[in-house]
Amino acid sequence: MSLKHILKIIIKHRNISVMILIQIAIAVTIVGNASFISYGTLKNWLIPSHLDEVEILNVYTKVFDNQVDKSALIQRDLTNLSALGEVTHVTYASNELVLATVTGSNLVYKTIDQEEAGFENAQFDVTSQGVATLSLAITQGRNFYPNEFVFAEASHNRYASVVLISETLAKSLFGEQSALGQTIYLQRARRPYQVVGVYADKMLGEGAVYEQQWYHSTIVPQAHFGNNNVNYLIRVKPGTHDGILKDVEDVLYQQHGRIVERVEFAARAKKRLWDGRSTFAFIMIGISVIAITVTGFGIIGLVSFSVSIRQRDIGILRALGASQHTVLKTLLLENALLAFVGIVLGSFTALWLNNYFVTHLRAQGLVEPWLAVLVALAVWLLSAAAVYIPVRKAAKIAPARVTKTS
């Protein structure tokens, strides 16, 4: 049997051939995407946060009593929290907390032009110990001056005039140009701020991370109060135990008219952020395992069938001088050809589906060429293994079987 004959037989038996081919294509599609997404998620997991995840606390509280003077409350909280033995710095945080979005999405613009799309950005509005609490390392320019901090009722519309930005954001906005002295515009209102300093990257914002702008962030020396949310960021000494969570809660409960919603380490916020995405990856891995199993058995079944209706032909080949080895080789080659076409077809559907997942479902995990090749190889091996079982049996067909009947 030559390649020519094999192709002719494949075409003659195109119904079965097409079924085998589709099985393989579907397996490649599913397994390919599962791998891309799982790998993408895993890879994102491994992006360093540069955060001292177990030294920073997010604190969420809500003031339900409208009679409470929030300005005074915040001042008292800051004083009381600082008094705790393990606490080194604390800041009121009127916008985002670490890897936890409290108010809607924050954008940063280069111009005031309404057409500009802007970048997703983590915006931390802090009081005087903000930079120290996050332990930001200023690499260019300067830290804030004490008189640059604005602490005001939100309705008064008073804003700071300066800002610190991360190195990656500086690069996104200004490229190789220096960011110092430039003006940037924050949020949809496009309020202007002048960049006075640049700090080393840290992964800070949930919304930004979601848009894969891992290190985009700005620190603004302004703290607005007025709505129900009263949140803090706290830095504690290295090695502080979980008991601090309870201590912080107790301190906050001393003030009336509020509830403490949650006190957590940044590590916890990060885990929560990733868990949702991992779930999608795990579901995909589960589906792949099922797909692989179904494909494996499907191929065994289809090939068994395709071989059984050709037993006589195989017997003839044996009688004409094909060794078992030759029969095995021929049938494996036949199925390898089918698998190859199936894999090519499956790869195209996989790419298409991946594109759909990434754009419509915000899945992470763009196509990795080496991973695609690995998946194709794995499916090919699997199909060869599945084919091997019925084909080895077929190769053992006794040549005498065909010579006795007419």
Partner 1 sequence: MLRMKNISKIYRTELVETHALSDVNFMVEEGEFIAVTGPSGSGKTTFLNITGLLENFEQGTYELDGEDVSTLDDKQLSRLRNEKIGFIFQGFNLIGDLNLYDNIEVPLIFRGLSAKARKQRIEESLELVGLGGRASHFPAQLSGGQQQRVAIARALAGKPRFLLADEPTGNLDTLMARQVMELLEEINRQGTTLLMVTHDHELAQRAHRNIQILDGQLRDINKNELVELIS
| Nearer of residues 103 and 326 to partner 1, judged by Cβ | 326
| Nearer of residues 1 and 394 to partner 1, judged by Cβ | 1
Q: Cβ of residue 334: shortest distance to partner 1, in angstroms? A: 12
| Nearer of residues 13 and 171 to partner 1, judged by Cβ | 13
| Nearer of residues 162 and 327 to partner 1, judged by Cβ | 327
Q: Cβ of residue 385: shortest distance to partner 1, in angstroms? A: 23
For residue 235, what are the β-bridge partners?
A: 56, 89
Q: Cβ of residue 211: shortest distance to partner 1, in angstroms? A: 57
Q: Are 89 and 81 in contact (CB under 8 A)?
A: no
What CA–CA distance (Å, rounded) separates 267 from 393? 57
Q: Cβ of residue 314: shortest distance to partner 1, in angstroms? A: 10
What's the Cα-to-Cα distance from 346 to each of 283, 297, 341, 368, 369, rounded to whole Å? 20, 18, 8, 15, 14
The residue whose two tokens read 């195109």 is: 14
Q: Are 194 and 183 in contact (CB under 8 A)?
A: yes
Q: Are 134 and 147 in contact (CB under 8 A)?
A: no
Calculate ∠ Cα 331-399-310, nearest 5°: 40
The residue whose two tokens read 């393989």 is: 24
| Nearer of residues 6 and 353 to partner 1, judged by Cβ | 6
DSSP designation for 366: P
Q: Cβ of residue 315: shortest distance to partner 1, in angstroms? A: 8
Number of other CB atoms surrounding residue 226 within 10 Å: 13
| Nearer of residues 82 and 323 to partner 1, judged by Cβ | 323
DSSP designation for 100: B
Give contact residues for partner 1 (rule: CB under 8 A).
1-2, 4-5, 8-9, 12-13, 310, 312-313, 315-326, 398-400, 402-406
Q: Cβ of residue 21: shortest distance to partner 1, in angstroms? A: 18
Closest by CA to 122, choosing from 140, 144, 99, is 99
The H-assigned helical ranges of 175-321 are 206-210, 243-253, 266-308, 311-319
Q: Cβ of residue 337: shortest distance to partner 1, in angstroms? A: 15
Number of other CB atoms surrounding residue 320 within 10 Å: 9
Q: Cβ of residue 12: shortest distance to partner 1, in angstroms? A: 4
| Nearer of residues 264 and 334 to partner 1, judged by Cβ | 334
Q: Cβ of residue 389: shortest distance to partner 1, in angstroms? A: 20
Q: Are 313 and 5 in contact (CB under 8 A)?
A: no
For residues 118-134, one letter each, b for 16 or more C-beta atoms within 10 angstroms of the residue's C-beta and e for the rest, the string is bbbbbbbbbbbbbbebb
DSSP characters for 44-90? HHTS---S-TTTEEEEEEEE--TTS-HHHHHHHHHHHHHTSTTEEEE
What CA–CA distance (Å, rounded) separates 25 from 22? 5
Phi-psi region of 208 (alpha: psi -120 to 50; beta: other; left: phi over 0): alpha
| Nearer of residues 154 and 398 to partner 1, judged by Cβ | 398
Amino acid at 40: G
Q: Cβ of residue 307: shortest distance to partner 1, in angstroms? A: 13
Q: Cβ of residue 5: shortest distance to partner 1, in angstroms? A: 6
| Nearer of residues 259 and 309 to partner 1, judged by Cβ | 309
| Nearer of residues 343 and 402 to partner 1, judged by Cβ | 402
The residue whose two tokens read 């990434």 is: 358
| Nearer of residues 7 and 47 to partner 1, judged by Cβ | 7
